[in-house]
Amino acid sequence: MALFRYSRSIYGGSDQLIGASWDLLPWFVGAAVAFIIVHAVLSALAKRRAHGSH
Amino acid sequence: MDQLTSGRWPAAGGERIKRHSLLDRAYHWLMALCVFVLMATAFLPILGIKFEWLDIHWITGVTLAALVLIHIVRALVFQDWRNMWIGRSDLQEIWRGVARLFGSRQPPLLPGKYDAAQKLYHLGVAVVVLAVIGTGLLMLLKIDTPFWRRNPYWFSADTWGIVYVIHGFAAMAIVAVVIVHLYFALVPDSWYMLRAMVRGWISGKEYSQHHDPARWKA
């Protein structure tokens, strides 16, 4: 998986950095969804524990 | 969802605590509108939905930059910026919260106007939004507008590459923070804060339940 986008140099030199790779977009979305799932699970466990202690 | 829109619930005739002024709520929702337009004009063409996105994107970006500038001046000059400052009591609040996750029976520490997680989130949003705005303003040098002619030779190709990398990573990070923000806005536990962002107030009961009056003198 590429982190960056490059353009091929027409003069045969090294490739030119032109930006971040858009292939990473699903990973950013996935990280957000993973965070939400972890938070929801921990919140549910904390609430269950709080109810159990009353 | 009634509690979001009804002025009668949950504080029927009860005390109302002003949480967000009209100006702050307008800023929040205008910023949200700008961010959604910017995300749509940035990512829909990448996902294959082609349209003339550039003019909408840069005009909305300049609008967002102006809004953020107004917000910074307002927060620093006319409001108490310490409401959003991460201090020792916030670190204690985080520590207590983590300890409770692992079985500690100590009661949670009540926050001031904003809790530690909200302050950390605001810090993260500030970093990525300022990065995307800063690089976006530089990228305006590469397009013709009614106000200036493009001049892409201000920077070398390598420098432009770095500017585009920062803009791209910050933009993708904004997608992630928007998703997380929507989650926290919509979970029932924080509906009272969503109502406050719509109507401006929380009830006296919510104030005493969720906030430490010593840390937020409403």
- Residue B58's nearest CA partner among B163, B150, B140, B147 is B140
Chain B contact for A38 (CB, 8 A cutoff) = no
CA-to-CA separations, B176 to A32, A36, B29, B124, B183, in angstroms, rounded:
5, 11, 18, 11, 11
pLDDT digits (tens, 9 = 90+) for B70-129: 999 999 999 888 889 999 999 999 998 888 777 777 888 999 999 999 999 999 999 999
pLDDT over threshold 60, residue B158: yes
Confidence of residue A8 (pLDDT cuts 50, 70, 90): confident
Q: Which candidate in B39, B142, B179, B182 is best for mutational testing of the A interface (most A CBs within 10 A)? A: B179
Cα(B72)–Cα(B66) distance, rounded to whole angstroms? 10
Question: Please, what are the domains in chain B?
Answer: 16-210 (1.20.950.20)
Residue B26 · residue B217 · CB < 8 Å:
no
Let me know the angle formed at the C-alpha of B122 by B118 and B128, rounded to the nearest 5 degrees.
Answer: 145
For chain A, the domains span: 23-54
Q: Which residues contact B10 (CB under 8 A, 6 or more apart)?
A: B3, B192, B203, B205, B206
Chain B CB contacts of A45 under 8 Å are: 101
Query: What's the pTM value of the predicted model, to 2 decimals?
Result: 0.89
* ipTM for the predicted complex: 0.89
Average pLDDT over residues B169-187: 97
- Residue B127's nearest CA partner among B73, B174, B57 is B174
Given this model, what pLDDT does residue B40 score?
98
Chain B contact for A9 (CB, 8 A cutoff) = no
Comparison of pLDDT for B3 and B94, the residue scoring more: B94
Give the whole-number percent of chain B exceeding pLDDT 90: 76
Sort strands A16-20 and B201-203 into parallel, antiparallel or unpaired: unpaired
At residue A29, what is the residue type? V
Cα(A17)–Cα(B165) distance, rounded to whole angstroms? 8
Tokens of B111: 């926050």
Chain A contact for B157 (CB, 8 A cutoff) = yes
Give the whole-number percent of chain B exceeding pLDDT 70: 94
Chain B CB contacts of A18 under 8 Å are: 160-161, 164
pLDDT digits (tens, 9 = 90+) for B10-32: 544 578 999 999 999 999 999 99
Given this model, what pLDDT does residue B97 score?
84
Written in H, E and C, the secondary structure of B13-47 is CCCEEECCCHHHHHHHHHHHHHHHHHHHHHHHHHC
